[in-house]
Amino acid sequence: MLQTITSSLPELFKAGFMYTIPLALISFAIGLLLAIVTAVIKLIPKPEQPAAKLGWGILQAIFGFYVWLFRSTPLLVQLFIIFFGLPNLGIQFPAFLAAIITFSLNTGAYASETIRGAISSVPQDQWEAAYTLGMKTPQVLARIVFPQAMRIAIPPLSNSFIGLVKDTSLASSITILEMFTVSQQITAKNYQPLLMYTIVAAIYAIFCSVLTYLQHRLEKRTSKYIAKEGGMN
């Protein structure tokens, strides 16, 4: 058994570092950007001028539809539509790119709601104080609201990220040689499904534990201005 483990670990870790981690990291980075843009578009009220009002309204509707679509359909189905379905329309992506696109859009939709909630939780007073100093909306967002919203968004965003790390295993269904695919291939040779799938589960758990540790570090850093964490004592 020990030999099975030691012989499969290098292959599994290689798949993890070549596919699982890059898939998760790149998709989360893109998804987070998309989420911030989506949240801001949904939150900034329509301007008064009629043309700008219409344009902003349409933009809000498009992003609203996007969030609804990706939150209302299963991730695996989204993956299949983008990789197997779109070629029917002549749009063909390599598997890795299709996975990045799907995971990014999916993460973006969920995280946009997290960020929207976090931004909304920063009191209106903070906006007013910044506006009366003469700051413009992007400056208020970047310098006053985001730093305070981040503190609130980090725990739920970590949830999304950890979820994404595990969801990358779905990429096995579109021919990507990520960790789970490799564990299946090894199982097909050594007929040890319990052992192999337990090993791969343990590796996912290790990756996620590292992320959880980093989350706590980040929470501490972004909370340094809070005298004492709220809660019961």
Partner 1 sequence: MIKLEHIDKTYADHHALKDVSLTFPEHETTVIIGPSGSGKSTLLRAINLLEKPEMGQLHFDDLTVDFSHPITNKLRFAIRRKSGMVFQNWNLFPHLTVLENITEGPRVVLKQSKAVANQRAAELLALVGLPDTGQRYPNQLSGGQQQRISICRALAMNPEYLLLDEPTSALDPELEAQVLRVLKDLAQNKQSMIVVTHNMEFAELVADRIVFFEAGEAIYDGPSKAFFEHPTARVQEFLNAISLK
Catalog residues that contact partner 1 under the rule CB under 8 A.
47-49, 123, 125-126, 128-136, 139, 143-144, 147-148, 151, 225-227
Q: Is 41 exposed, middle or buried (0-12, 13-18, 19+ CB in 10 A)?
A: middle
Nearest to 195 by CA among 3, 38, 4, 44: 4
* Rounded distance between C-alpha atoms, residue 157 and residue 136, angstroms: 27
Least distance (Å) from partner 1 to the CB of residue 152?
12
Q: Which is nearer to partner 1, 194 or 227 (CB)?
A: 227
14, 163, 196 from 190: Cα distances, Å? 19, 29, 9
Q: Which is nearer to partner 1, 90 or 134 (CB)?
A: 134
Q: Which is nearer to partner 1, 11 or 219 (CB)?
A: 219
Q: Is 188 exposed, middle or buried (0-12, 13-18, 19+ CB in 10 A)?
A: exposed
Least distance (Å) from partner 1 to the CB of residue 38?
23
Least distance (Å) from partner 1 to the CB of residue 148?
5
* Rounded distance between C-alpha atoms, residue 109 and residue 94, angstroms: 23
Least distance (Å) from partner 1 to the CB of residue 143?
6
Q: Which is nearer to partner 1, 39 or 130 (CB)?
A: 130
Least distance (Å) from partner 1 to the CB of residue 199?
43
Other C-beta atoms lying within 10 Å of the C-beta of residue 141: 20
Q: Which is nearer to partner 1, 55 or 85 (CB)?
A: 55
Non-local (6+) Cβ contacts of 23 within 8 A are: 96, 99, 100, 103, 168, 171, 176, 178
